[in-house]
Amino acid sequence: MNSKEEIDSVEIIKNIGIIPVINIPNPTLAEPLAKALSDGNLPLIEVTLRNDSALESIKRIKEAYPDMLVGAGTVLSCEQVEQALEAGAEYIVTPGFNPKVVKKCLDSNVPVIPGCVTPAEIEAGREMGLRIFKFFPSEQLGGVKTIKELCGPYRDISFVATSGITIQNIPSYLASEHVAAVGGSCMAPAELIQDEKWQEITSLSRAAVRAALGYKLMHVGVNGASAAESETNARRFSEIFDMSYKKGNRSDFAGTAVEFCKVPFPGEKGHIAIGVLSVERAIADLNRRGISFREDMRTLDAKGRLVAIYLEEEIGGFAVHLIKYE
């Protein structure tokens, strides 16, 4: 359970936050589908074993795109585990909790995400060393609300929620600390695959990734020379635009979008706060695009979770930092 391969696979899934869960009807569609997903910033896929050619699709994707993380889903037997691994699958997802299948995966040193939706199943999985489970069918079982209740007594687990996932409800799932990722086909509906609408799949994939990250402007901080200047500016801004004035220890706010800093903050002129659903997921996204961060400017909450961090780069004299929002 602690192999490098497993840690990498699970971290990729968590860092991206979305697993395309796809029933590929024909292996000839596998490679262009993989390219469409990758072009849409989704370099991973779960190919469900729901037809006789699924294993061939896994093989073709892995051969054509070796850097893509490829998993096998709807795995129901130990024999299917062996077949999926031989085809090139790097992780296994099962709809329910079958101890024999889970043990086979663990003995084969391959990550497994079994479906566990009851306390009894969760405890059986935890006994085998598992901490990430599939929550299926998610929407039908109450979604985030049920997941939160299950994680009350089991605080060290998280879920990959599948079934009923849409681009619109992705943020509500990934805002939860109990959801490691979501899975579904909203970025690659069956009809688009069948009609080979690859550009549309790429566009939907990008939209799904944007939903998972949730980037939005939270506030702009303006550096000031003194506490008196900060208060004067914040009050004046509030007065002009009929915003509430809020006095703070290190800065004053006009509404929630403009911060006037009393003491030196990073940035020559000030800072810009960008809200995200998960700071870790945003860091992974930006790292892939060559953006680096100031490790000395990390902020943790009372539970030790990362809630803010500054980019190394300044833009127009403004420092930029990520901040988690709910």
Distance CA 321, CA 299 (A): 11
| Residue of 14, 59, 104, 134 marked catalytic | 134
Q: Which residues on neighbouring strands pair with residue 3, listed in sequence order? A: none
| Residue of 6, 46, 90, 259 marked catalytic | 46
Distance CA 289, CA 187 (A): 22
Q: Give me the amino acid identity at 4.
A: K
Q: Give me the amino acid identity at 142.
A: G
Q: Give me the amino acid identity at 236.
A: R
Distance CA 177, CA 47 (A): 26
Q: Is 11 a catalytic residue?
A: no
Please return the burial class of 315, using the count of CB atoms within 10 Å of its CB with bins 0-12, 13-18 and 19+.
exposed
Instruction: Output DSSP code: residue 201.
Output: H
Q: Which residues on neighbouring strands pair with residue 222, listed in sequence order? A: 260, 270
Buried b (16+ CB within 10 A) or exposed e, 19-50: bbbbbbbebebbeebbbbbbbbbbbbbbbbbe
For 213, the enclosing helix (H) or strand (E) is helix 198-213
Provide the sign of the torsion angle of the four alpha carbons 84, 85, 86, 88, taken in this order. positive
Distance CA 275, CA 325 (A): 6
- What's the distance, CA 267 to chain centroid? 29
CB atoms under 10 Å from CB of 266, counted, come to 17
Q: Is 196 a catalytic residue?
A: no
Residues recognised as catalytic:
46, 134
